[in-house]
A and B are shown apart, each in its own frame.
Chain A
Amino acid sequence: MKNNSKNIAPTVLSVSDLKVKFVTPDYSVHAVNNVSFSLKRGEVLSVLGESGSGKSVTLSAIQRLLPKNITSVEGSIKINGEEILTMSARRLNQLRGGQIAMIFQEPATSFDPVFTVGQQITEGIRHHAGCSQSEADKKALELLDLVRIPSAKDRLHNYPFEMSGGMRQRAMIALALSCDPMILLADEPTTALDATVQIQILLLLKDIQKELGLSIIFVTHDIGVSIEIGDRIAVMYGGQIVETGNLAEVINDAKHPYTKGLLSSTIHANSSGKRLHAIPGSPPNLSNAPSNCSFSERCEFANETCKNTIPDNVKLGIERFSRCLRIGVWE
């Protein structure tokens, strides 16, 4: 029932054929290659991948936060049908924070150290809503209550360095929610936190998501976290989404050797009693555009075709894809 209602929910964000390349005189990196996905209203999409798989770059590209002078971005990113990549800076600044908000990985460094947390929350509210300082203060107070920060009133006057890591991340979430965004981009929001605090923040995000009906893209390298929060999952490798689908389907019946490898190399609910396996080798060098299956170097099932053909998305069901040339052969 839950999934049915999501299938008919409108698409709020669609990314198609996104390519991000960093070019400097010294090196070039094809960080994101032909990434396509969509996000529905009220849906949580977990993007799972290791460091350098392009997941954070994809997220930054959605808000056009990548450094302009060294980045080339191709493809299309549409929010409610409106193209982000070509819109004016003015329109972009309305959307940033207003419609699409971001939660950053390091709460310690993503607050400006010389402004109070309250000032930083209210300046966004005033910028987007154009309201008075006292109205913004009131809203900020409600937000801190929403993210369950105790004695919120005093906390508004705190500087970021006067808060603990978990408290700062709660404040960061409050800041992200301050202008009632439709889409939340969460860039490993729990990675920098203690394990116990991680779970608190995760549960908080989940509660708030349900309460407000938010759409979230949750980027993480932690398979446990992505299972905990996601409705759908997209597994990234070498700047590509190698497998995507409904969370339960992907976890229980992985259709890409990399997903399979990830699952068997991590401890999670389905892994009890099984032996852990490490994926051999290291992530691919992205200095050239892909010319084959980027996982073929490390894949135990790869054959000659895999090493010189770029795999297409193979449709396996409703919004269920795998980028593998040998589906069915290796299972």
Chain B
Amino acid sequence: MFSYFIKRLLYALPIAIGVTVFVFSLVYMGGDPLDAVLPDDATAADVQEIKEIYGFDKPLPVQYIRWLGRAITGDFGTSIGTGLPVADELGRALVNTLILAICSALTGFPFAVFLGTLAGYNHGQRADKIVSGFAITGVSVPHYWLAIVMVIVFSVELNILPSLGMGPGGSEDWTLDWAHAKHLILPVIGGSIISMGIIARSMRAAVAEILNQEFVRALRSKGLSESRIAYHVMKNALPSILGVVGLEIGSLMGGSILIETIFSWPGAGFLLNEAIFRRDLPVLQGTILVLAMFFVILNLIVDISQTFVDKRIIRT
């Protein structure tokens, strides 16, 4: 068991290194990194000076190692747009995105799991058809379109839910009260609708498949109650659902650009969007690096937690 964890950790390492190389090379992907900061009339001496300040005069591997060393210690440089340390901006944004992601994961995901279970237990019947219909709609409807429609309906027409920012008056200090929670509702729905569809469908398929297996008949044959059998079914469905939920949490964290932009939610996606428009490379690098690492770690956690549920996974 322990050796499996070590092995799995070692698998994650090359991926993590690959991510850092990719993120580092972002600097050079869009042409000369200094174009965005230097005024048009900068002299050659100015250019040289700036290059030295940012370390662009050194060979690439040296730049990479120095950048990596700083990144590991949490120093992602200074934002070109705001002049503030990237780590500070990013830290705040990540917390805000996490608030959204956690709210989605705690409300929408269990609901989706419940709906999927319901559909799986009633495979082919009316409940299944209704849930599957919703799930397919959830997956197929563009979530940014849905978000805009929700803004039109609930914010503009009905005027019952706010559409911008994290709290009243654009407050960014999030606290747990109704005034702030109101701001969460639309972004959470818009952000998690696709994930909910995917989770409900996976759960439905998993439950329906498990219920068809011989061992469920064997459990009935033992005289166990339906609730005890449901416990068996859930534990069997858990590994695959953990996998899907892990991926979907990852996509909530990373894929929130559109939703955060629509709702002006000052999170990582919003930051990323701003950084792209400003060509703010240090912010871009820091954000992508942290989100990608988050994804790698999340996958690691999912893989390891699956083995606690289903011991067969270790052997394969």
Contact = CB atoms under 8 A, between A and B. Distances in A.
Q: How large is the interface on A (under 10, 10 to 19, 20 to 34, 35 or more residues)?
A: 20 to 34
Contact of A97 (B214, B217, B223, B236): B223
Interface string B200-243: 00000000000001110111111111001000100110110000
Nearest to A105: B214
A115 B235 contact: yes
Contact of A95 (B223, B225, B235, B311): B223
A161 B310 CA distance: 11
A175 to B, nearest CB: 7
A104 B219 CA distance: 11
A259 B169 CA distance: 89
Nearest to A96: B223
Contacts of B222: 96-97, 101, 123-124, 127, 175
Nearest to B239: A114
A106 B311 CA distance: 21
Interface string A69-110: 000000000000000000000001111111001101010011
Contact of A96 (B221, B228, B239): B221
Nearest to B212: A67
Given A104-B214, A110-B214, A127-B228, A96 B220 contact: yes
B221 A161 contact: no
A33 interface: no
Contacts of A329: none
Interface string B286-316: 0000000000000000000000011110010
B223 A98 contact: yes
Interface residues of B, number: 23
A159 to B, nearest CB: 5
A124 B310 CA distance: 21
Nearest to B210: A112
A60 B217 CA distance: 10
Interface in B234-257: 235-236, 238-239
Interface centre among B215, B217, B221, B235 (most CB of A within 10 A): B221
Contact of B232 (A92, A109, A115): A115
Given A104-B214, A109-B215, A127-B228, A159 B311 contact: yes
B221 A63 contact: yes
A119 to B, nearest CB: 10
Interface in A107-162: 109-115, 123-124, 127-128, 159, 161
A115 B210 CA distance: 14
Given A114-B309, A115-B232, A124 B215 contact: no
Interface in A198-245: none
A110 B310 contact: no
Given A114-B235, A115-B232, A127-B228, A109 B214 contact: yes
A98 B236 CA distance: 25
Interface string A187-199: 0000000000000
A101 B219 CA distance: 11
B218 A111 contact: yes
B312 A113 contact: yes
Contacts of A60: 217
Nearest to B218: A110
Interface centre among B220, B228, B238 (most CB of A within 10 A): B220
B221 A101 contact: yes
B225 A109 contact: no
Interface centre among A60, A101, A124 (most CB of B within 10 A): A124
Contacts of A93: 223-225
Contacts of B312: 113, 159, 161
Contacts of B228: 123, 127
Contacts of A159: 311-312
A65 interface: yes
Contacts of B225: 93, 127
B223 A111 contact: no
Contacts of A63: 220-221
A113 B218 CA distance: 12
Contacts of B221: 63, 65, 96-97, 101-102, 104
A96 B232 CA distance: 18
Nearest to B221: A102
B220 A65 contact: yes
Nearest to A162: B311
B94 to A, nearest CB: 35
Contacts of B315: 161
B215 A112 contact: yes
A114 B236 contact: yes
Contacts of A111: 215, 218
B224 A124 contact: yes
A175 B310 CA distance: 21
Interface centre among A92, A94, A109, A179 (most CB of B within 10 A): A109
17 contacts: A65-B217, A65-B221, A93-B224, A94-B223, A96-B222, A96-B223, A98-B223, A101-B221, A109-B213, A111-B215, A111-B218, A112-B219, A112-B235, A113-B215, A123-B222, A124-B224, A127-B222
Interface of A: 60, 63, 65, 92-98, 101-102, 104, 106, 109-115, 123-124, 127-128, 159, 161, 175, 179
Pick the 3 closest A-B CB pairs, nearest first: A96-B223, A97-B223, A97-B222
Given A110-B214, A114-B239, 16 more contacts: A92-B223, A93-B223, A93-B224, A94-B223, A96-B223, A97-B222, A101-B221, A102-B218, A106-B214, A109-B213, A112-B218, A114-B236, A114-B309, A124-B222, A127-B224, A128-B223
